[in-house]
Structure 1
Amino acid sequence: MISGLVQILLFQSLGELLSKFVLPTLPGPVIGLVLLIIWLVLRKGVNAELAMVADGFSQYFGLLFVPAAVGVVLFLPQLKANALAIVSALVGSVILTIATSAVTVRFLSSKSEGAD
């Protein structure tokens, strides 16, 4: 378990370093996550220690929504004042996400059919 936790912290630290010195516009944890994913793809799998830590973390994801819910209640007047813009942005982003996903799946499925 310690090994899996060390791996996660190592990649987050690498992401923070790259964010500080190379890519200041991206958050360090995001860079670290991308590096971890690349490392796992190159290794072609997740080791047992990392999987155990990830399973442990995933049990507590619900707690991450508590600060967001408090923020919604705290800023309710501002949210009401800007409701149209917020709803428009949410609907637009959902439509763009679905369209982008569809185009990506179509592109990747045509590539895989051509390889067979």
Structure 2
Amino acid sequence: MPVGLTILLLFQLIGEILAYAMHGAVPGPVIGMALIFLCLLLFKRRDRLKAFETHTLSASRLLLANLGVLFVPAGVGIVQHLDMVADRGPQLIATILVSTLATLLVTVSTFLLTKRLMGARKDG
């Protein structure tokens, strides 16, 4: 478990360094996640590096299993600033609804475009 967490944090650090070098164009954790994904794809074919995959996946599964605990600080922050939430409630609700709708529209559009492009690639 500690080895897996170290690997995950190392990739996040590499991602942060690259994000800093690119002046924040892409968030560091996203870059780190993409890098670890590529490494897992490459290492899947090599038996010698199977431990990398095993450690990384076990740490990831443990983090995902306990993901709810990571939301506790956000919940405490909301309760701590409940008066501010009450004052700005309508604006918060409107912002959440608009951003959720925008995210859904972009996600569906991206999926449909990808599906159309992949379908065109298979047919052609």
Query: What is the aligned partner in structure 1 of residue 7 from structure 2?
Result: 7
Distance 1:72 1:40 in 2: 37
Percent of aligned pairs sharing the same letter: 30
Q: Could you list the runs of 4 or more consecutive aligned residues of structure 1 that deviate by over 4 angstroms after TM superposition?
A: 70-73
Residue 111 of structure 2 aligns to which amino acid in structure 1? S
Query: What is the aligned partner in structure 2 of residue 98 from structure 1?
Result: 108
Per-residue CA deviations over 1:62-94 (Å, capped at 9, x if unaligned) read 123333444555324223135445423322321
Q: 3-state DSSP class of the match of 1:26?
A: coil
Give the TM-score normalised by the residue count of structure 2.
Answer: 0.69
Residue 73 of structure 2 aligns to which amino acid in structure 1? P
- Shift, 1:57, TM fit: 0.9
- Shift, 1:55, TM fit: 1.1
How many matched pairs? Answer: 114
- Shift, 1:100, TM fit: 1.4
Instruction: Give 5+ residue unaligned stretches, structure 1.
Output: none
Give the TM-score normalised by the residue count of structure 1.
Answer: 0.73
- Shift, 1:11, TM fit: 0.7
Q: 3-state DSSP class of the match of 1:10?
A: helix
Per-residue CA deviations over 1:5-33 (Å, capped at 9, x if unaligned) read 22212211111211223343433222211
The change in CA–CA distance for 1:108 and 1:72 in structure 2 (over 3 A counts) is farther
- Shift, 1:109, TM fit: 3.8
Instruction: Give 5+ residue unaligned stretches, structure 2.
Output: 46-51
Distance 1:101 1:72 in 2: 34
CA-based RMSD:
2.7
Distance 1:86 1:101 in 2: 22
State whether residues 43 and 53 of structure 2, in contact with CA within 8 Å, keep that contact through their aligned partners in structure 1.
no
